[in-house]
């Protein structure tokens, strides 16, 4: 008897092929944009400006703006936090050096810069699209939302800054001590006039 081999995989539909091709192209351009940090953030600032202008001229969609700002605050906390929380590490016992006299440990973010940028850009685009649906334009007194968000931002940043001070880490490269090789002093090699 001969075994008949049948193809059990269904042929891919043209729509699925097109979606895979678009997804591959998008991923390609996303990966190519990775080293261009300043340009990426300028695009995000442009998206934010477009969104702000849309909300300003529509005079509404404050709930969407509030949700967007809470989401961005959450992303910011992930961006400023270390990947391994020192508080949790102290509960498990010291596995890595934590004092200045011990081995250097670089700061690794819980949310890397590229993912932080991508999430913020995507959030502004989604929020912009939501402003075209009138069902999301819930009437609210926006100053209350603004002050509540400001209060939440203040408390969250205070907690994050005290955490940074307590465990001695700085999530940015500016302000950190830089080490360089030995420098030769020219004061000892000067000529004398005797």
pLDDT single digits (tens) 85-101? 766 666 555 555 555 55
167 domain-assigned: yes
Mean pLDDT, range 57-73, rounded to an integer: 92
Q: In this predicted model, which residue has the larger pLDDT, 105 or 60?
A: 60
DSSP 8-state secondary structure symbol assigned to residue 132? T
pLDDT at 86: 67
Q: Which of 160, 174, 146 is nearest to 78 (CA)?
A: 160
Whether residue 179 contacts residue 106, with contact meaning beta carbons closer than 8 Å, is answered with: no
**What does pTM read for this prediction?**
0.71
The Cα angle at residue 24 between residues 22 and 28, in degrees rounded to 5: 115
Q: Which residue segment(s) compose the domain that 129 sits in?
A: 79-172
pLDDT of residue 130: 94
Q: Of the spans 17-26, 123-132, 184-193, which averages the highest pLDDT?
A: 123-132
Q: How does pLDDT run across 151-171, given as a tens digit for each residue?
A: 999 999 898 888 878 877 777
Distance, in Å, from the CA atom of 167 to the CA atom of 105, rounded to the nearest integer, reads 12
- Kindly state whether residue 143 falls inside one of the protein's structural domains: yes
- Residue at 147 is within a domain: yes
Supply the mean pLDDT for the chain: 80
What pLDDT does residue 79 have? 87
> Residues 108-134: what's their mean pLDDT?
91
The DSSP bridge partners found for residue 82 are 109
d(CA 177, CA 180): 10
Look at residue 84 and tell me whether its pLDDT is greater than 70. yes
The reply to whether 97 falls in a domain is: yes
pLDDT at 47: 95
Judge whether 36 lies within some domain.
no
pLDDT above 90 (res 131): yes
Q: Which of 57, 73, 60 is nearest to 149 (CA)?
A: 73
Q: What percent of the chain has pLDDT over 70?
A: 71
pLDDT at 142: 85
- Residue 43 resides in a domain: no
The answer to whether position 152 is within a domain reads yes
Number of folded domains that form the chain:
1
Task: For residue 23, tell me if it sits in a domain.
Answer: no
């Amino acid at each position: 008897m001969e075994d008949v081999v049948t193809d059990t995989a269904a042929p891919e539909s043209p729509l699925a092929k097109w979606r895979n091709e678009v997804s591959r192209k998008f991923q390609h351009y996303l990966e190519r944009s990775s080293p261009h940090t300043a340009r990426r953030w300028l695009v995000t600032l442009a998206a934010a400006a477009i969104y702000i202008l849309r909300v300003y001229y529509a005079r509404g969609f404050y709930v969407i703006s509030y949700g967007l700002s809470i989401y961005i605050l959450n992303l910011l906390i992930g961006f400023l936090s270390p990947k391994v929380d020192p508080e949790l590490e102290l509960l498990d016992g010291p596995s890595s050096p934590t004092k200045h006299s011990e081995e250097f440990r670089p700061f690794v973010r819980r949310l890397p810069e590229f993912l932080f940028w991508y999430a913020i850009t995507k959030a502004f685009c989604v929020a912009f699209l939501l402003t075209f649906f009138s069902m999301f334009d819930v009437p609210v007194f926006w100053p209350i939302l603004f002050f509540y968000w400001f209060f939440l931002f203040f408390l969250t940043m205070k907690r994050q800054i005290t955490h940074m001070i307590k465990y001695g880490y700085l999530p940015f490269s500016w302000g950190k001590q830089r080490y360089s090789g030995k420098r030769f002093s020219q004061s000892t090699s000067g000529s004398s006039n005797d």
